[in-house]
A and B are shown apart, each in its own frame.
Chain A
Amino acid sequence: MTRKRIWIAFALILVGVALCAGLIAPHDPYETNAALIRLAPCRAYPFGTDQLGRCVFSRVLYGARTTLSAAFFLIAISFVIGCMIGMLCGYFGGIADGILMRIANLFLALPQMVIAIVIAGILGGGLSGALIALGATMWVHFAYQARSHTYMIKQQAYITAARLSGKSSLYICLYHILPNLLLPLATNALTQIGSTIIAISGMSFLGIGVEVPKPEWGAMISEARAYLQLAPWCVLFPALAIILTVITFNELGDLLMEKEA
């Protein structure tokens, strides 16, 4: 119980930092200063400064905002789309269902990250390209899960009862099936946060995620890798931020899964 509280508190702090980055950050994350290049961590710059004299601490804080909001946004969109399509296909079956399964198998036929890298690369940079590429494969997982749950729920007696009492299919889907779907799917969505963060920062690291001046952990590491010998803090602090965030959300996901089982 206490372990759970600690991780929830951690996650809330991370989200809080992301939301209030503008209030906490001591400097403008974009402000360059030629006089303060590669400064070691000190009181004014707790995490030091980078190649262009930007405050690493402020950039890490703003990076939390970039990465977390992108991850949440991506999961939310994939969740809604996957949930809707999966539920409708599971409920109605037929040709649409067959087509859905074809598409799903298509996306599952390749390792997810490989497709995402190829698609994002072809779409040509930018966070939106990366998100489209990741979302293209992510919604399929939700759709699969929603479909199989809908199949099971559909056979329950109360669905038959609702149908006999003259409720429309749409009503049954929205009021009887959807509420029962939400819990298992939301659990799944939460367990995806850690790996989504890894995917987004990994793609930014490769240069097919966020555009350069924007503060993002993976992009910061990629940029600072070139002068790792001179200013290791430019790499270590964003790295630490990624590790902490991923561990927090993975642990939360694990706890939820245990509860589910």
Chain B
Amino acid sequence: MTLLALTFVVFGLMYLAPGDPAEKRLLSQGIAVTREMLTAERERLGLFRPFLTRFGEWLFAVLRGDLGVSFKDDLPVLPKLLAALQNTAILAGASLALSLLVAFPLSILCAYRKGRLSDHVIGLFSFLGNSLPSFLLSVLLMYFLCIRIDLFPVIATGDFSGLILPVLSLAIPMTGRFIRLFRAELLLQLSMEYVTGLRNRGLKERYIIRNILHNALGHLLVLIGLQIGSLFSGSVVIETIFRWPGIGKLVMDAITARDYPVIQGFVLLIGAIYLLINQLTDVVMKKLDPRIEVRYD
């Protein structure tokens, strides 16, 4: 239902917005455009037909699993999107994994050494990371790592070394946010009475940490799920900068070319993934901590 309304809004906006896909397509082929050619091209792309008919047709096609063909090169949209999605998944997955690997131990350290030097140092870094937008970070990393020290290639190639900079640009701000959020959650758990109880019983700290993590895991998962949205937005930006052939770059190119079917498919796909992830975090959270249903009632 939400997805339906969303695609309708985007469809309507594209209908109302300035810019003409037929003209863009013809211009990009490098030929002088005549009025007759334009009319014929618009006719072929179906731009003259009424709005609701077009939306209805698109919708029925989607229900059959067909997202239409691109205005730009007549290739079907769905395989195009899925191929790009794969690349984005590599980028986003690597960034998420990296920032979790860094943020998890550091936030435990911070929570345990609250107010001490290491807490302040890590806190400062996470604060800086949090205030640095990825697009800015990517340019700064490019400058210092590619030009000053000449460590990496500037434009992402398919191989591993091309992946490092985009992943770092996405992961550093996310790590900053994760450390702040995880630290707060762990501190909350540490202040609870069961921790004092366990300590008074003389249990080893290692065992207590296990208990704390077990209790905190559900909440940490929700926090991670909430970051997925900014991960998507971040990858749109980062992919454009590094020319990573992911879904973000695909949609930015589609926007400049007024390639409506691709934009439309993108909105549908991202919306579906986002909703799916939200549902999934809910389910997993309940599995991990059966008390949650009771608590939220």
Contacts and interface: CB of A to CB of B under 8 A. Distances in A.
B281 interface: no
Contact of B143 (A112, A202, A236): A236
Interface stretch (A120-128, A157-165, A181-189): A120-128
A111 B230 CA distance: 7
Interface of B: 2-3, 5-6, 9-10, 13-14, 17-19, 127-128, 130-133, 135-136, 139-140, 142-143, 147, 228-230, 232-233, 236-237, 240, 251-252, 255-256, 263, 266-267, 270-271, 274-275
Contacts of A232: 143, 147
30 contacts: A109-B2, A111-B229, A111-B233, A112-B229, A113-B233, A113-B236, A118-B251, A118-B255, A118-B267, A119-B10, A119-B13, A121-B252, A122-B17, A122-B263, A124-B18, A124-B19, A201-B133, A205-B237, A221-B135, A228-B143, A235-B139, A235-B140, A236-B140, A239-B136, A239-B139, A239-B140, A242-B133, A242-B136, A243-B131, A247-B131
Given A124-B19, A218-B135, A206 B147 contact: no
A194 B256 CA distance: 28
A25 interface: no
Given A205-B135, A228-B139, A112 B233 contact: yes
A154 interface: no
Interface string A102-114: 1001100111111
A216 B140 CA distance: 18
State the main secondary structure of chain A at its contact with B.
helix
Contacts of B266: 118
Contacts of A168: none
Contacts of B132: 243, 246
A113 B6 CA distance: 15
Nearest to B256: A121
Nearest to A230: B147
Contact of A113 (B5, B230, B240, B251): B230
Given A206-B237, A236-B143, A122 B275 contact: no
Contacts of A194: 131
A242 B128 CA distance: 12
Interface string A12-56: 000000000000000000000000000000000000000000000
Contacts of B256: 121
Most buried by B among A111, A242, A250: A111
Given A117-B233, A228-B142, A110 B133 contact: no
Most buried by A among B132, B228, B233: B233
Given A109-B271, A119-B13, 13 more contacts: A110-B6, A110-B229, A114-B233, A117-B252, A118-B251, A121-B252, A122-B13, A198-B133, A206-B252, A228-B147, A239-B136, A239-B139, A250-B131
